[in-house]
């Protein structure tokens, strides 16, 4: 019978103990990732009462409760002008939730100092939709060309938000949009057509009719028929008759003239 080696036994027991500790506490060793405890949740009411802009901006990055993000955003909107510069800085925060919230807040505050930073933020694909919507709310014509440039975005949500922003900017966007009506991409062309219909400016009527007759797009003709503009409706019926189509009125879903 071999004698026991006390040192080897001790090392063996220590190894077992370490394994037990690791297995029982694996969540605390990072397997579950970083955690935000309820006790660490920011106190929005206190931050609001102190007009703590930086604290509210940081609170928009709190991931455990979306209500905290929204409450912080609303508080920043209510603070208004004093929050603008810190929010502009936050457009480049490492936390995407903070960047999204900053863009949205700036749009609702409506300060023109945010226009150029928001145009720059269009290059950030994570917040492109939020930045576009914010530019639409502010309504500054400086945003028109940068917005038109990203109408070809692969993300349909982005394209719709950009189009919505151009509709909100309205009349100043009409001529630049007419210039891209004949874009080689049907995807871009169709969303420009819908955007011009929703802006509802008479300058767009003849160019829109020309595009229909050039590209022979049945869905475009249906939109013309149902958009509520008599001239476009007449053009749609004429086009359909000359091409052997029957275009039917619909109950909605397409763009409306002067939405």
Decide if 259 contacts 200 (C-beta within 8 A): yes
pLDDT for residue 119: 98
Find, among 89, 129, 139, the residue nearest to 109 by Cα.
139
pLDDT for residue 146: 98
pLDDT for residue 33: 41
Give pLDDT < 70 ranges for the chain: 1-39, 251-252
Helix (H, G, I), strand (E, B) or coil at 109: helix
pLDDT for residue 214: 94
What would the two tokens of residue 179 be? 């210039």
Question: pTM, whole model, 2 decimals?
Answer: 0.81
The CB-side HSE value for 66 (13 A sphere, CA atoms) comes to 1
Q: For 222-244, how does the pLDDT look when each residue is reduced to its tens digit (9 = 90+)?
A: 999 999 999 999 999 999 999 88
Distance, CA of 115 to CA of 59 (rounded, Å): 24
Q: What is the set of domains in the chain, with CATH numbers?
A: 44-150 (1.25.10.10), 170-259 (1.25.10)
Mean pLDDT of the chain: 87
Decide if 69 contacts 62 (C-beta within 8 A): yes
For the chain, how many residues are written?
259
Decide if 117 contacts 148 (C-beta within 8 A): no
The helix-helix angle for 186-199 and 218-226 (nearest 10°) equals: 10
pLDDT for residue 248: 72
What would the two tokens of residue 29 be? 């060793």
Helix (H, G, I), strand (E, B) or coil at 235: helix
Distance, CA of 186 to CA of 183 (rounded, Å): 7
């Amino acid at each position: 019978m071999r004698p026991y080696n006390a040192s080897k036994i001790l090392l063996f027991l220590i190894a077992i103990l370490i394994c037990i500790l690791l297995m029982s506490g694996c969540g605390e060793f990072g397997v579950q990732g970083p955690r935000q405890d309820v006790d660490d949740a920011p106190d929005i009411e206190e931050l609001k009462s102190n007009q703590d802009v930086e604290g509210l901006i940081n609170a928009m990055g709190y991931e455990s409760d979306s209500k905290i993000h929204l409450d912080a955003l609303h508080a920043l909107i209510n603070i208004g002008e004093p929050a603008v510069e810190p929010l502009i800085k936050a457009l480049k925060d490492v936390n995407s939730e903070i960047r999204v919230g900053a863009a949205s807040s700036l749009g609702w505050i409506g300060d023109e100092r945010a226009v150029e930073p928001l145009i720059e933020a269009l290059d950030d694909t994570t917040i492109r939709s939020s930045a576009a919507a914010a530019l639409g709310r502010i309504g500054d014509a400086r945003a028109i060309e940068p917005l038109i440039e990203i109408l070809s975005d692969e993300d349909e949500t982005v394209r719709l938000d950009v189009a919505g922003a151009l509709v909100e900017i309205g009349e100043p966007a009409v001529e630049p949009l007419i210039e891209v009506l004949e874009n080689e991409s049907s995807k871009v062309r169709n969303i420009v057509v819908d955007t011009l219909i929703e802006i509802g400016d008479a300058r767009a009527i003849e160019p829109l009719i020309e595009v229909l007759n050039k590209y022979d797009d049945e869905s475009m003709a249906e939109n013309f028929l149902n958009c509520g503009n008599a001239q476009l409706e007449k053009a749609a019926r004429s086009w359909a008759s000359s091409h052997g189509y029957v275009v039917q009125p619909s109950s909605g879903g397409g763009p409306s003239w002067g939405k």
